[in-house]
Structure 1
Amino acid sequence: MLYCFSSFSTRTEVKVANLVCFIIIIITITTIILLLIIIIIIFLFGLVLVVIAVVAVVVVHLVLLLRRRRRRRHRHGRKKPYSFFDDLGNVVGFDVDIVSRVCAIAGKQCEIVLAEFTECTFTNREITYPGRGLMSGWFDACPGYVISVDRKTAFDFTDPYLYTDASFTVAPGNPSDFNPDISDFSQFTFAHLTGAVTNEKCLDRLNKKAKNFVVAANLPDARAMLLNGTADVLFSPRHKIDGLEILPQRVHCDAGGSAVMLKRGSPLAQWWNPAFQTLKKSGEYQALCPISSIKYNAALALSMGWLRLGFGCRNDGISAEVSAVAMTMSMMEP
């Protein structure tokens, strides 16, 4: 038998002492176990806090990264150099500069506002319609839109100030073996953006036989159609689309370049056109092309042949009007 104490004289005292000793040992062991459990709980709790902190840091980092990418897309957005957000969130670009100068010459107060491009124009069953925003007077004009035969039946336009053309875009490697130089496109399915002048009617005017068309709500939708095989070709005013192949052939769907698109009967062109001609005669308009190329780091060049017709800036990159968000213009009397 184990004795905790040996100084007791009687057996009863020894038994009591051993019982007390046993109780003390049990209490000590229990206390140690409880302390270990508490330490383990504290450790696990701390570990959980560390994991939560790490996850929070990762989430915050991802959110900030997505925000930076979103801001970067705005800065280098689909309408650069025409209209896009700078680092401070201001709308800037060639269209903004043109509007500002023409309005200043005309003595008008003009405000730049943003809207979905379908508020300017959209396509339904291959018919081009004016957008709700333009028709309802939410704004007065949509700068940078192509003048075309079918649009002339629905809109008025100012004098043109941009050269424009159209191109054919395919998936990488041109899996459908599309050739823009042939005249019969019957075997191919074309995608075009809603409201764009690059549509079935334009191909008809180009003496191209085509019968299969799908309308894309926006550029990402059109890109997806090419990549998933819904469409073989995207017919658009764009010269650069990430992840797709732009064929070198160029055609014209316009009837005189790009201009400020107006609601039918709008009086805006009555003061805009004289002011724009003043800007052009002063030489300032011609200077805007190379200045904008440097200012906005984009390929805006001066096309002298088109300049004689009233507009000279052309862009070797993207279309002025194809974007999820359009710059529109509201005019206020001074």
Structure 2
Amino acid sequence: MASSEPSRYGLFLVFAICAIVSLLALLLSSVAIGRSSASKFTVNPGTLKQEDDDYVWTFAAGHSWHGFEYRDESTGELRGFTVDLINAVCQEANKKCEIIRDLYINCWDAKAGGPAHGGTGLMGGWYDGCSAWSQTRQRLNTFKFSKPYVQQLAEKITFYTADADSDLDWRDLTNRTVAFLDGWPASEDCILLYDEINGFDKSNARHYPSIEEFIVGIQQKEVDCGFAALSEKLQKELHHLTTDELDFKCTLSAPSIMMRKDSQLDTWWNEAFDRIRANGKYSEVCRDLYEVHV
């Protein structure tokens, strides 16, 4: 009889350990599910595929690109030329579509001194396409693109400084720190395309996630200068150096829809886009860019 007590105790201990392990497994799985659902968009049931009629095509759009993509402060809605264009093309193609607001870095990302790469969102299938992205040599290694839907926006590139009396010589960037907009075409790789610019070292690159932070970083002299396309917004806040002879070499095409190489999105998008250009709907979308989204 004495030997039965340890046996019962041992059996109880086994059950207790199993219960604890099961509880831990449940807790860990709950945490994993919570993390997954918090960082991933789900529109289609897992059984739907792109070739299915009920498939919902999803597009990521940002919120800080002037009249092209912006958040309406009065309604909280995402608005702009890009939103109108996606809706028009999807309607023409008779496709179900949703537009998702997300960070630009989830479409294409770059860290100072490191290689640019596909963003977590597009690579991970959170959505089918990212709007308003131009082709670059690096991006073409990872993604494919729809037909461009606007003309090339940037024609010149320049360096920006905080002061008009800056003694910076943009032709010689030896030991100079340079600001870049994270993930934008005017990148560390692009600056190396210009034979006129010497001395740049990627270790001196500083990245900023938004135009606003890019401007502040230069104004507060966290960097010696910034490298970006010539634009009215930046010219209002910063001094730009005289580099009018520098044509914009950072992109190979105007903005379009960027997608994974295994996507079927371009098989219907390009045809529908051509049709709205022919039937006048595209002209209406363009008109609203200047009359509504200002």
Q: Same fold (TM over 0.5)?
A: yes
Task: Check if 1:164 corresponds to 2:153.
Answer: yes
CA distance in 1, matches of 2:222, 2:96: 46
Given that 1:168 and 1:233 are in contact with CA atoms closer than 8 Å, whether structure 2 keeps it comes out as no
Q: Which moved more, 1:278-287 or 1:152-161?
A: 278-287
Q: Residues 233-280 of structure 1: CA distance to partner in whole angstroms, max 9, x if unpaired?
A: 222246113632345735231101111111232111111111111122
Say which SS state the counterpart of residue 237 (structure 2) adopts.
Answer: coil
Relative distance call for 1:264 and 1:293 in structure 2 (3 A) is: same
Deviations 1:301-326 (A, max 9, x none): xxxxxxxxxxxxxxxxxxxxxxxxxx
Alignment size in residue pairs: 219
The 2-side partners of 1:110 and 1:141 are apart by: 11
- Deviation per CA, 1:20-71, whole angstroms, max 9, x where unpaired? xxxxxxxxxxxxxxxxxxxxxxxxxxxxxxxxxxxxxxxxxxxxxxxxxxxx
Question: Structure 2-normalised TM-score?
Answer: 0.67
**1:112 correspondence with 2:99:** yes
Larger radius of gyration: 1
Q: 1:231 to 1:104 in 2, by over 3 A?
A: same
Structure 1 231/271 Cα, relative in aligned 2: closer, same or farther at 3 Å? same
One-letter identity of the residue aligned with 1:236: A
Aligned residue number for residue 266 of structure 1 = 263
Is the 8 Å Cα contact of residues 193 and 249 (structure 2) preserved in structure 1?
A: no
Q: Judge conservation of contact 2:89–2:272 (CA < 8 Å) in 1.
A: yes
Equivalence for 2:85: 98
**Hey, what does 1:25 align to over in structure 2?**
none
In the alignment, residue 253 of structure 1 is paired with which amino acid?
A: C
Q: Secondary structure at the match of 2:271?
A: helix
Q: Deviations over 1:218-246 (max 9, x none)?
A: 33432233123232222224611363234
Aligned to 2:66: 80
Q: 1:179 to 1:171 in 2, by over 3 A?
A: same
Alignment match, 1:324: none
Flag structure 1 segments of 5+ consecutive residues without an equivalent: 1-76, 298-334
Letter in 1 for 2:138: D
Quote the offset at 1:148 in angstroms: 1.0
Alpha-carbon distance change, 277 to 177 in structure 1, aligned in 2, over 3 angstroms: farther
- The aligned counterpart of 1:137 is 125
Q: State the partner residue of 2:14.
A: none
Is structure 2 residue 174 aligned with structure 1 residue 177? no
- Output the amino acid matched with 1:84: Y
SS at match of 1:95: helix
**After alignment, is 93-102 or 126-135 more displaced?**
126-135
Check the 8 A contact 1:176/1:232 in 2, yes or no.
Answer: no
Root-mean-square deviation (Å):
2.3
AA partner of residue 231 (structure 1):
V
Q: What 5-or-longer segments of structure 2 have no aligned partner?
A: 1-62
1:311 paired residue number: none
Partner residue of 1:215 out of 207, 217, 233: 207
Alpha-carbon distance, 1:285 to partner: 2.0
2:56 maps to what in 1? none
Q: State, as a whole percentage, how many aligned pairs show the same letter.
A: 25
Q: How does 1:1-334 map to 2 (within 5 A)?
A: 78-86=64-72, 87-124=74-111, 125-162=113-150, 163-165=152-154, 167-178=157-168, 182=171, 184-186=172-174, 188-207=176-195, 208-209=197-198, 210-211=200-201, 212-237=204-229, 239=231, 240-241=233-234, 243-247=237-241, 249=244, 251-297=248-294
Counterpart Cα distance in 1 of 2:270 and 2:223:
40
Residue identity in the other structure for 2:108: T
Aligned-partner residue type, residue 83 of structure 1: E
Query: Aligned equivalents of 1:132 and 1:153: distance in 2?
Result: 16
For residues 168 and 278 of structure 2, the distance between their equivalents in structure 1, rounded to whole angstroms, comes to 44
